[in-house]
Each structure stands twice: as structure tokens, then as C-alpha cells.
Amino acid sequence: MTKAVVVLDFGSQYSQLIVRRIRELGVYAELFPYDATETSFAHLDPGAFILSGGPASVFEANAPILPPFLLLANIPILGICYGMQLLAFAYGGEVKPVGHGEYGGTTFHPGVHELFYGLPDAIRVWMSHGDRVESMPSGFRAIGHTDCSPIAAMVDAQDRIYGLQFHPEVEHTSFGREILKNFIFHVANLSVGWTPVRFLESLTEEIRLKVGTQRVLCALSGGVDSTVTAFLLHKAIPEQVTCLFVDTGLLRSGEVQEVEQALGQAGIHVKTIPAAAEFFRGLERVEDPERKREIVGRLFIRIFQREAKKIGHFQFLAQGTIYPDVVESRGKERLRSDKIKTHHNVGGLPDIMPFKLIEPLRYLFKDEVRRLGVLLEVPESILQRQPFPGPGLAVRIVGEITEERVALLQKADAIFREELQGLSDLPSQFFAVLLPVKAVGVAGDKRSYGSVIALRAVSTQDFMTADWTAIPLELLARISRRITNEIRSVTRVVYDITSKPPATIEWE
């Protein structure tokens, strides 16, 4: 393997996004905790280090610190946001709190330096910091500024240590990819050597080494991620995998049949368990979304335990967890990033299980999962399906879960998805949400009092940030008419125009 990039995680929500951006350039990158030892990544033969941002301040008593070996490293280092402040602080510079902070988009003026090769005189960048570098360490110089940060980029005298106060890894930063590309190829002089094919080879080998001759029970939720996981396991250990598809009663219309057909045609053994009654009982009168996730996760495990005993002894439980699930749930190895919400397949699992957990897609983003699915020959109809949360419609129904409310939402969601299929450029994700309120309406000259459906559609590259999609008004009007005409108990349809952040993509 050619030299890789080691990204040290200081708790940023965007840490894995840095890894993804580097991989997109054809260079292998891997994420490690900020306090990882040199030996933990020595096998990668690092050619550069990138320090992520993070929620801490260098002034906090228990703030993450700069690993001592970095002070002696003789390879390029790029610090982003908190990573920059940490470098400045460690080398003797001055870091101070900013009175009002700097958050969101701002204009950055790059200096003349190979890190900014090919960039215009001013670019839009994404800031998110409460501290800033007030004065640089001896031997450093500023190579860029914003109106609020005179030292928004810096470099040492040897052109080895770099700092950026903004986040080049997010879509909101213009020319962010070009900055990272310049760092990787012009500063660190690394070579392209990472491809999806190689990644698939390494994943299958990793699964074979981890599982050995033991058996795996693969949890199917009906979404893209768990289906790709099933195909991956089938490729790596075809005779050792059984897929368990739990029909929770919380899936989208027609979903069970679609998944069964796709996996059956690929020769993958699937056992479907009708369990809607159990899930409805478990969720009865539960309104809190975190409790919903916990209940769904525990019911999944309980059913897996019960069914596994019926069909044989399994040592591993495989799940389709992907990185946005992990970072939003603040998985155990990412305790330094702030929790946003728990995903049932990350935070809803009991601490003690009779299975060892295997999550081969844990560090991939949705589009990377889809590219992997293409290599695995997963049917296009499955790969291009809308992302779907593990707890299903339980977290798209705000408030109490009942069979009647689920049936209502299934119909509204099916209409929304059907109508949007005519768009030439589909949103990245779109779905309907049932709200816990009633609204007055008029039907047949009579007053009615019915349910409210919210429609949500977003466009995104990585699902870490997202913008609401401007669906044509004529199409939205037709969707609204169909929902209110075909589902008489719905009296109002609204459209969500909130981006992520400040919102999340899902409502709960």
C-alpha cells in the first residue's frame, strides 16, 4: 500500500468527513482517536497527519492535547479549527476566546502559497469556533485571513505544519477539495493508490479474518445499508450467513416484498419474521423518540435471540450501521463528539449480548455504500431506494405509534415517493412525516378536523450537512391534492424548508 493519511479525531462532527474527502482523492485515510499511539497506525506508513476540529477549548482542564510524537514527526501536519489552535498553543503561540465567535459562512482571503494553488483571491468558507489564534508561535507566518480572524491560516518556517481556522472538508467551503488536494499532493507529495475495488478486497478479507469459520446472523431492516451488508457478507462468507428480516410493521409500503425478492434472486438466504404485533405493543403510548429507538433496538435483539435459537447457533450479529449513525449517536469510540440522537443500531443495543457485533460499513457514508453496492452487483432498484432509519416509521411519526397512524403515513409517503419519481434530478432523501397535531379543514362543504402531514426533501453529498430541496410548486401542489383527496383523514400538508444544521434530516 502507498503511504496513507492519518486523521486524528478531536471530537468534530466532521472528523470522518475529512477521511472521506482524502479517499475521494484516491489516497487511503483512516481515523484514529487523538490519543492513539504511534504503533496503532504504524502499518499505514503515514505520509501526513490531519488534526480534526472539536468542541473543546484549549483552555479547558480536560481538553484533548496534542500527542507528543507529533512534535517530533517529520511529515506534514494540517490542523483544522481546534487542530490549528492546538498546534499554535503547543508551539508557544497565543490562543484567545473570540467575543462573539465565528459561525457559518464567511469570506476567506488566501495568501500566496502552494496550499492555495489555483484559488481565487476570496472564497467562501465554513467557520465554527469560539477561540482563535491571537499570535502565532515563533517561526510561523499567516497565509490567509477573514474579517474576524486575522490569522485564519498559518504555516511554519519549514512548510511542514499548517493550520486552517475554517473547515475545508464541508460542502459549504468553496474550493475545500482543492485545498485538501494541494495539501495531499503538493505539500505531502503523496500518490494515488486507493480505489473502491481495493477497499472491497480489504473489507472481505477483514470479514473472513474476524469471523473465521463461525456463523453470522445478518439483521435486515429494509434499507440500503443493511442490504449492502448482506451482499458483502454473502461475497465474503457465503455459507456462513443467514439474513433475518424482521417485519416490524413500521416499514414503507411494499418494502418487505421488495427486499425478499432482491436477496432471493442473488441466492442469499433470508428468513422473514412477522413481528408487527410485538413492536406495536412495545411502543404503545411511547412518544419520546429516544425511547422509541431504545425499544426498537431491544426488540430487534430479543427477536434475533429467539429466532437464532430456532434456526441454529450464531456467534456474530451483523448490522448495516454507517458513519452518520455512529457520529450522531456518539458511539463508544467517539465519546468526544457531542451526541445528537441515538440510532437504534448503535445506541439502542444492550450492553451484554450473546453475539459479537460486526458492522463492516461502520466508517462509510451513504454514497460510498452505494458505490460498494455497485461492485457487489446489488440491484439498482435497491441501491437507489430512499435511505430509511432503522426504527422505521416509528421515528417519522411524531408522538404515539398506532397501527392506524402507521397505515396513514405509509399511504402519504407512498404518494410522495411516487410523484417525485418524475423529477430528472431526485433529492438525496425525501419522505413524509405524521405530526401529532390536528388541523381544521373543509370536505364536501363540511368542517373536518384531521391529521397533518409534513413533507421533507433534502439535497446532500454526505448526509452530515444538507440543504432543503426546492421542489417545483406545481408538483408540491399536486402531491398535496393527492394526499388530502386519497387520505380523507388528512386535512393539511406542509413542506419543511429547514437545512441541516440547524435541523437533522429526520424529524426525530
DSSP 135-152: EPPTT-EEEEE-SS-S-S
Is residue 485 domain-resident? Answer: yes
Is residue 59 domain-resident? Answer: yes
Residues 268 and 332 in one domain: yes
Contact 365, 320 (CB under 8 A): no
Q: Residue 307's pLDDT is what?
A: 83
Of the candidates 107, 133, 142, which has an alpha carbon nearest to the alpha carbon of residue 121? 107
Is residue 505 domain-resident? Answer: no
Amino acid at 480: S
Q: Residue 430's pLDDT is what?
A: 95
Residues 301 and 375 in one domain: yes
Residues 27 and 160 in one domain: yes
Residues 282 and 400 in one domain: no
Query: How many independent structural domains does the chain possess?
Result: 3
CB atoms within 10 A of CB 442: 9
Listed residues 324, 357, 383: the one ending a domain: 383
Residues 116 and 265 in one domain: no
Q: Which residues contact 435 (CB under 8 A, 6 or more apart)?
A: 398, 399, 451, 452, 453, 454
Residues 172 and 219 in one domain: no
Residues 174 and 231 in one domain: no
Active-site residues, by number, are: 81, 167, 169
Question: Where do the H-state alpha helices sit in 175-223?
Answer: 176-181, 196-211
Residues of the chain with pLDDT under 50: 330-344, 346-348
Is residue 506 domain-resident? Answer: no
CATH number at residue 220: 3.40.50.620
Residues 484 and 340 in one domain: no
Is residue 52 domain-resident? Answer: yes
Listed residues 361, 383, 405: the one ending a domain: 383
Amino acid at 290: E
Q: Write down the residue that cell numbers 444538507 correspond to.
A: 466
CATH number at residue 79: 3.40.50.880
CATH number at residue 448: 3.30.300.10
For residue 411, give the H/E element and its range. helix 403-420
Listed residues 136, 169, 187: the one ending a domain: 187
Residues 179 and 71 in one domain: yes
Residues 379 and 449 in one domain: no
Is residue 320 domain-resident? Answer: yes
Is residue 344 domain-resident? Answer: yes
For residues 277 and 348, give the distance between their C-alpha atoms in angstroms, rounded to a whole number.
20
Q: Residue 327's pLDDT is what?
A: 61
The four Cα atoms 225, 493, 476, 461 give a dihedral, to 10 degrees, of -30
DSSP string, 121-181: S-EEEEEEEEEEEEEPPTT-EEEEE-SS-S-SEEE-TTS-EEEESS-TTSTTSTTHHHHHH
Domain range holding 489?
Answer: 396-495
Residues 253 and 274 in one domain: yes
For residues 422 and 109, give the distance between their C-alpha atoms in angstroms, rounded to a whole number.
42
Q: How far is CA 439 from the centre of its chain?
A: 34
Q: Residue 342's pLDDT is what?
A: 45
Structure-block grid coordinates of residue 439? 388541523
Contact 225, 56 (CB under 8 A): no
Contact 119, 178 (CB under 8 A): yes
Q: Residue 443's pLDDT is what?
A: 67
Is residue 388 domain-resident? Answer: no
For residue 111, give the H/E element and its range. none
Q: Residue 45's pLDDT is what?
A: 93
CB atoms within 10 A of CB 499: 15
For residues 169 and 177, give the distance between their C-alpha atoms in angstroms, rounded to a whole number.
7
Q: Residue 99's pLDDT is what?
A: 64
